[in-house]
């Protein structure tokens, strides 16, 4: 079978977390034909809080490539149109300030050119009867939340309706034939293979030498009638309103966690941190865990396999997949289709010595 065969599709995509989904959005936008295979491996995206926040709130620094990342957010608006539901919310994020010196740090940071668009100079005094914040809050601008679990579910339905989604299956690498001419999988021919497997990369023989490591995160879901919050609050943890008096509380970071079981330890840590932020009763109604795909240099990895020009990767989205995903999907697409260079700091090229 050759590429001129009329049954050839442009892309085969493995994985439908945020990385695979946003890459598919590029394919739809540009009119490419494609099929997605998504298995039942744990998905970090389905348990993520969905936050996008352009500021490292521990250190008052702008997140790596925050401005470029936000300027690629048209992808979420296009998804809203395609899926016909509002999935992106520009909610304020209020960072609790713990002392007068932290207030001063905030004022200094808000004056810096890289942070000025993201930090309000006005402090919000704490007037809430159940929030513990003697020194008030600083407001982060241009942050918010994507309803990522619902987007994935609606996108799956869309793909199914358009016959872009293969039946739920694990990608079987023993059934793959790769040449410089084509990708052949289970008798069908594609021009390109895009691997977006999150921590499922451990089973990918083309890329599993890359240093993508799990960092386990856990969230609690709580219910309380007393808070009535509409914004996102941040102390040592994020407190994220979900509606109907429910909130997400989290998340934990554990680089030794290898599985997605809920732990008593994480529950206790999150409960204690929540009690340091709120002073009203709450009920824990859920807990969830996932594995963030992280890279030691804290940069994602996108690009093309050094020896197989038709196999590509988008992974290592770490703890900021919602913010960086649209930009990375666009960069990878433009590299494959238009031979645009990928900056080396995010490129698979920086690990060429491992292949
Ligand atoms: C508790 C927690 C909270 C988080 N909160 C946030 C947040 O608020 N904001 C934020 O930006 N980020 C957050 N993150 C990080 C975010 O979840 C990740 O950056 C992002 O989800 C990674 O997306 P991904 O598509 O690369 O991987 P995944 O979401 O893990 O998706 C990979 C997909 O590939 C599939 N797959 C894997 N192998 C195969 C195979 N062989 N065959 C078929 N399918 C396969 C899996 O089933 C899965 O569907 C959080 C993470 C955790 C754990």
For helices 74-83 and 18-29, angle between their N-to-C axes, nearest 10 degrees: 80
pLDDT attached to residue 166:
84
Domain with CATH 3.50.50.60 in the chain: 9-48+149-211+297-354
Interval 172-198 mean pLDDT? 95
C-alpha separations of 217 from 36, 99, 300, 307, 323 in Å: 26, 28, 18, 34, 17
For helices 74-83 and 321-338, angle between their N-to-C axes, nearest 10 degrees: 90
Domain with CATH 3.30.9.10 in the chain: 213-294
* 137 upstream amide cis, omega within 30 of 0: no
Classify residue 118 by its DSSP letter.
T
Q: Are 75 and 28 in contact (CB under 8 A)?
A: no
Reading the block at residue 212, the tokens are 């993508």
pLDDT attached to residue 352:
96
Residue identifier of the C-alpha nearest atom 38 of ligand 1: 200
Q: How far is CA 326 from the centre of its chain?
A: 9
C-alpha separations of 77 from 87, 131, 151 in Å: 8, 33, 12
* Closest residue by Cα to residue 156 from 40, 75, 10: 40
pLDDT attached to residue 59:
83
Residue-wise pLDDT tens digits, 52-81:
999 998 888 999 999 999 999 999 999 999
pLDDT attached to residue 174:
94
* Closest residue by Cα to residue 5 from 187, 167, 157: 187
How many beta carbons lie within 10 A of that of residue 223, not counting itself? Answer: 15
Enumerate the H helices of 112-214 as residue ranges.
148-161
Backbone φ, ψ for residue 204 (5° rounding): -100, 110
Reading the block at residue 337, the tokens are 């289709």
Classify residue 142 by its DSSP letter.
S
Backbone φ, ψ for residue 293 (5° rounding): -85, 105
pLDDT attached to residue 4:
54
Reading the block at residue 135, the tokens are 């020194």
Pocket of ligand 1 (CB under 6 A): 14-20, 37-39, 41, 43-45, 47-51, 170-171, 196-200, 203, 217-219, 250-251, 290, 292-293, 315, 317-323
Provide CB contacts within 8 A for 307, sequence distance 6+. 355
Residue-wise pLDDT tens digits, 194-221:
999 999 999 999 999 999 999 999 999 9
Reading the block at residue 48, the tokens are 């993520």
- Under the banding of pLDDT at 50, 70 and 90, the label for residue 1 is very low
The rounded distance, in Å, linking the Cα atoms of 305 and 289 is 31
pLDDT at 240 over 60: yes
pLDDT attached to residue 40:
85
The rounded distance, in Å, linking the Cα atoms of 186 and 169 is 12
Atom index in ligand 1 nearest the CA of residue 324 equals 11
pLDDT at 297 over 50: yes
Reading the block at residue 41, the tokens are 């491996």
C-alpha separations of 58 from 98, 106, 237, 248 in Å: 12, 11, 11, 20
pLDDT attached to residue 3:
54
Residue of 321, 322, 326, 327 with the most ligand 1 atoms within 8 Å of its CB, for mutation: 321
The rounded distance, in Å, linking the Cα atoms of 93 and 95 is 6
What's the gap in Å between 132 CA and the centre of ligand 1?
Answer: 33
Reading the block at residue 321, the tokens are 């997949």
Residue of 146, 292, 314 with the most ligand 1 atoms within 8 Å of its CB, for mutation: 292
C-alpha separations of 353 from 4, 207, 324, 330, 349 in Å: 34, 12, 26, 26, 9
Would you tell me which CATH number, out of the four given (3.50.50.60, 3.40.50.20, 2.102.10.10, 1.10.530.10), belongs to the domain 9-48+149-211+297-354? 3.50.50.60
Interval 95-107 mean pLDDT? 92
Helix (H) or strand (E) holding 273: helix 264-275
Q: Are 294 and 213 in contact (CB under 8 A)?
A: yes
**Over the chain, what is the mean pLDDT?**
95
Q: State whether residue 88 is helix, strand or coil.
A: strand
Is CATH 3.40.50.970 the classification given to domain 213-294? no
pLDDT at 161 over 80: yes
Instruction: Say what the pTM is.
Output: 0.96
Reading the block at residue 62, the tokens are 């702008």
């Amino acid at each position: 079978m050759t590429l001129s065969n009329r049954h050839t599709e442009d892309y085969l995509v493995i994985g439908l977390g945020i990385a695979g989904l946003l890459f598919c959005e590029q394919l739809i936008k540009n009119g490419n034909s494609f099929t997605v295979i998504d298995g039942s491996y744990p998905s970090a995206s389905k348990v993520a809080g969905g936050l996008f926040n352009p500021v490292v709130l521990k250190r008052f620094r702008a997140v790596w490539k925050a401005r470029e990342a936000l300027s690629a957010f048209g992808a979420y608006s296009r998804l809203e149109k395609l899926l016909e539901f509002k999935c992106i919310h520009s909610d304020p994020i209020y960072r609790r300030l713990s002392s007068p010196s932290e207030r001063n740090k905030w004022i200094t940071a808000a004056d810096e050119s890289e942070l000025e668009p993201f930090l309000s100079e006005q402090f919000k005094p704490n007037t809430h009867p159940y929030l513990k914040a003697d020194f008030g809050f600083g407001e982060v601008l241009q942050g918010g939340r994507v309803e990522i679990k619902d987007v994935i579910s609606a996108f799956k339905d869309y793909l199914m309706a358009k016959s872009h989604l293969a039946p739920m299956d694990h990608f079987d690498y023993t059934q793959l034939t790769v040449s410089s001419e084509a990708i052949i999988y289970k008798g069908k021919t594609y021009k390109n293979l895009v691997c977006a497997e999150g921590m499922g990369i451990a089973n990918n023989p083309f890329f599993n030498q890359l240093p993508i490591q799990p960092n386990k995160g856990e969230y609690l879901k709580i219910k309380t009638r007393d808070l009535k919050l509409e914004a996102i609050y941040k102390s040592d943890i994020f407190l994220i309103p979900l509606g109907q008096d429910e909130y997400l509380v989290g998340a934990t970071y554990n680089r030794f966690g290898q599985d997605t079981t809920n732990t008593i330890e994480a529950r206790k840590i999150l409960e204690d941190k929540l009690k340091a932020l709120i002073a009203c009763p709450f009920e824990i109604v859920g807990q969830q865990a996932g594995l963030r795909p992280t890279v030691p240099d804290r940069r994602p990895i996108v690009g093309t396999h050094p020896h197989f020009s038709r196999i590509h990767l988008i992974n290592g989205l770490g703890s900021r997949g919602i913010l960086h995903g649209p930009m990375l999907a666009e960069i990878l697409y433009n590299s494959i289709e238009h031979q645009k260079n990928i900056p080396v700091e995010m490129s698979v090229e920086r690990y060429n010595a491992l292949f």
